[in-house]
Amino acid sequence: ARALVAEPRVILFDEPLSNLDAKLREETRKLLRRFLGELGITAIYVTHDRVEALALSHTIAVMQAGRVVETGTPQHMYFDAQHRYVADFIGRANQFPAIVRQRENDYTLARCGLGTIHCQARDLPEGAEATLCIRPEFIRITRHEVGPGFNVIEGTIESMDFVGEVYEAEIRVNDERLLARIDPDVKATPGERVEIRLDPAHCLLLSA
């Protein structure tokens, strides 16, 4: 409040909400965004909280070891990051070593522990090492076969933790584990065999 009352052109925030409880942090974050917009103040906001970064920013810069690794809009950094470190830092992500196979129509195919996966098109040469990144919220789980499609694989649910709006589940596929977010309406249980669908648009290949 003391910093804002002078209406500076630029203000630096260094993790200002870190000592607040979760509900108050959310309320204060919304107020802060509104105040900055109304006053037209440029803010440089330092945080380790990905939700704060995504919710407050027009542009995000992710730093590693004192250097900026990548910059972009919140949407770019979450959905289309170019670096493995950035994809993992901005949000929870399943990451698997992969080998680029070939281009097929609008997709890049890659081989990993899950099988051969159709991915978002990337300009990577055939045979290149890469990392396949899939966020838990983009993994679709069904208990019954619903027909063919890209990236349809099978796995066994190993654990499920109820966290409110979803279950957070670990699913074993071959020798790999997938972290997935399962809708409570899907009546699945640990030990059950399920069908997994991975939307190619959300299968991201990153440079290894």
Tokens 């027909």, residue located: 147
CA–CA separation, 33 and 15 (whole Å)? 14
In Å, how far are 16, 46, 58 from 1, measured between CA atoms?
A: 11, 17, 22
Q: Are residues 52 and 131 in the same domain?
A: no
Residues 118 and 80 in one domain: no
Question: Strand, helix or coil at 166?
Answer: coil
Residues 83 and 177 in one domain: no
Q: Using the predicted structure, report yes or no on whether residue 193 has a pLDDT greater than 60.
A: yes
Same domain, 172 and 160: yes
Whether 80 and 113 map to the same domain: the answer is no
3-class secondary-structure state, position 124: coil
Task: For residue 42, give its domain range.
Answer: 2-90
For residue 22, count CB atoms less than 10 angstroms from its CB and return exposed for 0-12, middle for 13-18, buried for 19 or more: exposed
**pLDDT band per the 50, 70, 90 thresholds, residue 2:** confident
Quickly state the pLDDT bin for 208 (edges 50, 70, 90). low
- For residue 151, pLDDT beyond 60: yes
**CATH code for the domain of 172:** 2.40.50.140
- The answer on 118 and 85 residing in a single domain is no
Statement to judge: residues 181 and 82 lie in one domain: no
Same domain, 101 and 63: no
28-51 tens-digit pLDDT: 999 988 988 888 889 999 999 988
Is the Cβ–Cβ distance between 60 and 73 less than 8 Å? yes
69 and 154 fall within a common domain:
no
pLDDT greater than 90 at residue 1: no
- Residue ending a domain, choose from 39, 72, 90: 90
Residue 73, domain CATH: 3.40.50.300
Which of 59, 90, 121 lies at the terminal end of a domain, its last residue?
90
CB burial of residue 135 (10 Å; 0-12, 13-18, 19+): buried
Domain count, the chain: 2
**One domain, residues 58 and 81:** yes
Of all residues in the chain, what percent carry a pLDDT higher than 70? 97
User: Can you point out the beta strands (E) in 65-201?
Assistant: 67-72, 94-104, 107-112, 115-120, 129-134, 139-142, 152-162, 167-173, 176-182, 193-198
Whether 35 and 101 map to the same domain: the answer is: no
Distance CA(38)–CA(50), nearest Å, equals 24
Task: Using a pLDDT cut of 90, give the percent of the chain over it.
Answer: 63
When pLDDT is averaged across residues 132-149 and rounded to a whole number, the result is 80
In a shared domain, residues 112 and 192: yes
Which of 24, 58, 90 terminates a domain? The answer is: 90
Distance (Å, rounded) from C-alpha 108 to C-alpha 99? Answer: 11
Predicted local distance difference test score (pLDDT) of residue 188 = 85
Looking at the predicted structure, is the pLDDT value of residue 146 above 80?
no
